[in-house]
Structure 1
Amino acid sequence: MAYEQLQVHVENKVGWIKMCRPDIRNAMIPELRRELHTALAQLDQDDQVNVLVLTGDGKAFCAGGDLGGMNRKIDAVTGRKKLLQSHELIRTLLRLEKPVIAAVNGAAAGAGFSVALACDMIVAAKSSFFVQSFVNVGLVPDLGAVHFLTSLLGPHRAKELMFTGERVTADKALELGVVNRVIDDEGFLTEVGAIAEKLAKGPAISMGLTKAMVNRSILSQLHDTFEMEAFAQGLCFETEDFREGVTAFFEKRSPRFSGR
């Protein structure tokens, strides 16, 4: 299949998926999300692929949601529907019976951070960073971020990151246990490829079933999280704070939230 938003190729039993919209920092626009979902499903069915690597083109892994598409009024019903569609991407990442490595080459912000968390391993470039940026535009964390971060960090540290929108460097993320490894920018993807190829030489069925067992409880718990997310985000889309947050983002200034 020909992709417009992605580059997809297979090498040494590793399926590589690169998000290729550096002009928008690989933001999760609907077209990119749909192609990503399709590519994951196709590589899952490819017997010549044992491991997948997801990365981004340019200076960002994924800058999060499509704020350009949100620069207009969104009602709660539309917002809920939009989010439920995005949830399928996370479910797919968790259901694939093949390891998925997030090769975080740059900024992983908002939904981009959530997508990385849904992968099985996160390998980060030295210059990359992670940020729960939802609060900066008056939204709640979505795509499972509340579940993943609370499980990894505990409630207090997770809430700190989500309340403050603080940037977390790759080294700090390693210290916190969010990422598996940090690699120098020079030769980053070569090193990621070596990790992926080592996994690809392992017993594919065994690793796939191990992933399925680990993720079984995650999938059951995420159902309730996703329902609450969709409800809460739908409400946030209708607030003045959300509209102010998006306006401030495009005007490159600090938002002036009113609590309305």
Structure 2
Amino acid sequence: MDLMGAFFLFAAIVNIILTIEHAYTASRRRLSFLILLNLLQNLLNTTACFAVFFTIRAKTQQPSEWECYLIASFAIFWFVFSLRAWTNVFVCTSHYLRILRPRSSGNLKRLFTYGVLILTASMSSLASALIHVFMYEFEEEYGVCSAVFLYEDELAHRRFMRVRVSFVASVALNYLLPIIVVSFIYSELLTTLKSVNAPKKVIRDIEELLLLDKHLYLWLVGPIHSLMALQFIFLMKEFPNY
């Protein structure tokens, strides 16, 4: 195990401790939707760290077929990080409905909003997992787990391009869409709060949430996916007929 693998194993253990601590705190207070989301986020963080750990371990040791498909379904924590990103959407939507739409407006709209979000998040995350299972194969002869696009010379061009198109679609579903939704809802919430002269502390908290989401995704994830998008454009030029 290298240093990076040890780091993610340590991060997973820390997240387990945080999950237990938050669960203990929640047990002493009145359970709410936001507390449940907080627990879910910690569990997803733990799963993501374990997924990265197994991925790194598979690169340094010969993985079993089971580990290969485990890595493929998570594909460097795309699936769980997608759910993690969508929980941010649920949190900001909950803030939005709680502040701007009182309960007297009816629960049907709330249920419809959450239902649409649950359906979208589930489809997005499931699509990501299926896409990456399609991208990975287990070579029984050599006992290795590898992405199919590493062997483009041995693949039909159409399948190779379908994998790349699916990859870009997965990026859009699992990162760009949650970013846009979260930024839009928080921005609208911030505008409304300022118009009604809400307390400065509330406005400052919303601004921090908005900046946190933008910085977390755009600064850490954006450059990586920009490079991937450039690679995709290059491949489209390589295979103009497909």
Structure 1 length as normaliser, TM-score?
A: 0.27
- Larger helix share, 1 or 2: 2
Which one scores higher on RCO, CA 8 angstroms, separation ≥ 6? 1
Q: If each structure's strand is expressed as a fraction of its own residues, which one has the higher value?
A: 1
Give TM-score, length-normalised by structure 2: 0.29
